[in-house]
């Protein structure tokens, strides 16, 4: 599933073959497209295309190039178009100082006015910004976004702009430019943006991706952007498609997000298992506080699956083709020691590596004597040390049981006798002394340390 969040299907480049371009899009896995208006005429055309195709939605608005000739009657029609149930956003609005098609002051006025309309009706905004980074962000910050949010389309800004947009809760949309040879700086910025805040777009008929650069762009070419974004983010193309589609679904409300809790869910080349939502910590930074989703998978489960159900879910996912099976999910796996053992036995029978990601409270939960039972079943364990001091651990992880930090360290030391690979992770939160975490890991616990980004889960 791929969602093209920005196309101009009304343009004359699609006049002769829109139908076949849409067939190619479907064949390439593009399930939904948002076609964008730039003035009243194209917004009307976008509405008509959307009305004729179930999978196409539209966003009416006034492009900065065109605002010099926008009238009050145009605004009245824009408001009418926005009443259409398939009008999912307002745009393309914004600023373009690269060309001189409309005076800058006029662009700013119409940008603010369209932001105002979007706020009034609470629809997300699609924003164009070219060589106008500071003014764009200043206007968004002072005028405010609709509660429904917004996106910077065809993002080509610098690190500052990306960070300001993320602080405002915005999405950034990437397309063909990400694939260009001379877009190294853009790829470096996008590397720092959480995948949960990225969208895909073609901006077709413009900006065809690298192997087809210079040709007319069309939605089916998004696969090249998917591959590049997967490389930039260290994810699989399937991860990119799933996560960006969920992002688009959340922002534009164009289809239902996945329901129900996933039990076996792939990320990169690992198959993760979600066996419980219970935990012995109540971390202030826990993803469960803000969303049901991790890397596009809905992990909120109503009932804990049995070992049999977990094995069936793994088999449906064809688990033997993964590099490893990881007990992780949306809670602490050691809450269910018996299930871990039964499922791990089934995984090991097929020769697949087994890892557990844990908060390290296993001894507090199961007592000091169980570790020998894991010998030969578990290949690796990664323990969230998170912080270098007990005080910080207590403050941010808020353990529900006494002595959790000390017990965690004891577990790491004991686990080394029964599990071949034991490591700990530290959380790169502002103010956390990572070097002290490293000293604890290597000198005190005798294991390696991996540093996790604070805002990245999964």
Task: Decide: is 332 part of the binding site for ligand SF4 (CB under 6 A).
Answer: yes
With 0-12 / 13-18 / 19 or more C-beta atoms within 10 angstroms meaning exposed / middle / buried, residue 284 is exposed
CA-based end-to-end distance of the chain:
20
CB-nearer residue toward ligand SF4: 283 or 307: 283
CB-nearer residue toward ligand SF4: 76 or 282: 282
Interface residue with ligand SF4 among 37, 331, 333, 458 (CB under 6 A) is: 331
Stretch 86-125 residues interacting with ligand SF4 (CB under 6 A): none
Minimal distance, residue 179 CB to ligand SF4, in Å:
35
Q: From 106-114, 184-192, 230-238, 274-282, give the range in contact with ligand SF4 by CB under 6 A.
A: 274-282
CB-nearer residue toward ligand SF4: 127 or 362: 362
Q: Are strands 2-7 and 30-36 parallel, antiparallel or unpaired?
A: parallel
Secondary structure of residue 105 in the 3-state scheme: helix
Q: From 88-96, 174-182, 278-286, 434-442, give the range in contact with ligand SF4 by CB under 6 A.
A: 278-286
Minimal distance, residue 262 CB to ligand SF4, in Å:
15
CB-nearer residue toward ligand SF4: 30 or 262: 262
Task: Decide: is 282 part of the binding site for ligand SF4 (CB under 6 A).
Answer: yes
Gyration radius of the chain over CA positions: 25
Task: Decide: is 286 part of the binding site for ligand SF4 (CB under 6 A).
Answer: yes
Q: Beta-carbon neighbour count of residue 285 at 10 Å?
A: 14
Minimal distance, residue 281 CB to ligand SF4, in Å:
4
Minimal distance, residue 182 CB to ligand SF4, in Å:
40
Distance CA 16, CA 20 (A): 9
Task: Decide: is 359 part of the binding site for ligand SF4 (CB under 6 A).
Answer: yes
Interface residue with ligand SF4 among 279, 344, 352, 424 (CB under 6 A) is: 279
CB-nearer residue toward ligand SF4: 199 or 383: 383
With residues binned 3-state (H G I as helix, E B as strand, rest as coil), the percentages for the chain, rounded to 5, are 45, 20, 35
Minimal distance, residue 433 CB to ligand SF4, in Å:
20
Query: Nearest-CA neighbor of 173 among 106, 241, 248, 113?
Result: 248
Total residues in contact with ligand SF4, by rule CB under 6 A: 10
DSSP string, 229-278: HHHHHT--HHHHHHHHHHHHHHHH--SPPPPS--SEEEETTEEEE---S-
Q: Side-chain half-sphere of 82: how many Cα atoms within 13 Å?
A: 22
Phi, psi of 63, deg, nearest 5: -70, 145
Minimal distance, residue 138 CB to ligand SF4, in Å:
36
Q: Which chain residues interact with ligand SF4 by CB under 6 A? A: 279, 281-283, 286, 288, 331-332, 359, 397
């Amino acid at each position: 599933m791929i969602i093209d969040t920005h196309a101009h299907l009304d343009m004359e480049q699609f006049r002769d073959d829109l139908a076949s371009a849409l067939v190619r899009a479907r064949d390439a896995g593009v399930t939904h497209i948002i076609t964008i208006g730039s003035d009243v005429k194209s917004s009307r055309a976008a509405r008509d295309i959307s009305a004729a195709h179930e999978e196409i939605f539209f966003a009416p608005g006034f492009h900065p190039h065109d605002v010099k000739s926008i009238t009050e009657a145009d605004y009245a029609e824009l408001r009418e178009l926005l009443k259409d149930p398939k009008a999912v956003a307002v745009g393309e609005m914004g600023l373009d100082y690269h060309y001189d098609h409309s005076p800058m002051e006029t662009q700013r006025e119409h940008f603010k006015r369209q932001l105002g309309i979007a706020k009034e009706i609470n629809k997300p905004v699609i924003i164009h910004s070219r060589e106008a980074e500071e003014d764009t962000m200043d206007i968004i910050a002072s005028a405010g976004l609709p509660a429904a949010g917004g996106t910077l389309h065809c993002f080509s800004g610098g690190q500052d702009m990306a960070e300001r947009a993320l602080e405002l809760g915005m999405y950034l949309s990437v397309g063909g430019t990400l694939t260009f040879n001379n877009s190294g700086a853009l790829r470096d910025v996008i590397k720092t943006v959480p995948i949960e805040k990225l969208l895909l777009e073609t901006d077709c008929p413009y900006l065809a991706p690298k192997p087809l650069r210079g040709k007319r762009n069309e939605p089916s070419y998004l696969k090249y952007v998917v591959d590049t974004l997967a490389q930039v983010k260290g994810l699989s193309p399937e991860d990119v498609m799933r996560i960006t589609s969920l992002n688009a679904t959340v922002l534009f409300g164009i289809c239902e997000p996945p329901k129900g809790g996933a039990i076996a869910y792939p990320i990169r080349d690992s198959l993760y298992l979600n066996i419980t939502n219970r935990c012995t910590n109540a971390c202030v930074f826990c993803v469960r506080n803000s969303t049901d989703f991790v890397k596009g998978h809905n992990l909120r489960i109503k009932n804990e699956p049995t070992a049999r159900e977990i094995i069936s879910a793994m088999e449906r996912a064809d688990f033997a083709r993964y590099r490893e099976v990881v007990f992780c999910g949306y809670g602490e796996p050691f809450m269910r020691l018996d299930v871990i053992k039964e499922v791990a036995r089934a995984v090991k029978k097929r020769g697949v590596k087994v890892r557990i990601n844990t908060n390290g409270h296993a001894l507090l939960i199961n007592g000091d004597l169980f570790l020998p039972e894991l010998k030969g079943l578990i290949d690796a364990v990664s323990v969230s040390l998170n912080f270098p001091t007990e005080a910080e651990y207590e403050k941010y992880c808020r353990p529900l049981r006494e002595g959790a930090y000390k017990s965690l360290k004891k577990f790491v030391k004991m686990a080394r006798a029964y599990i071949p690979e034991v490591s700990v992770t530290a959380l790169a939160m502002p103010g956390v002394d990572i070097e002290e975490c490293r000293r604890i890991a290597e000198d005190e616990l005798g294991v390696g340390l991996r540093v996790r980004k604070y805002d990245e889960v999964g």
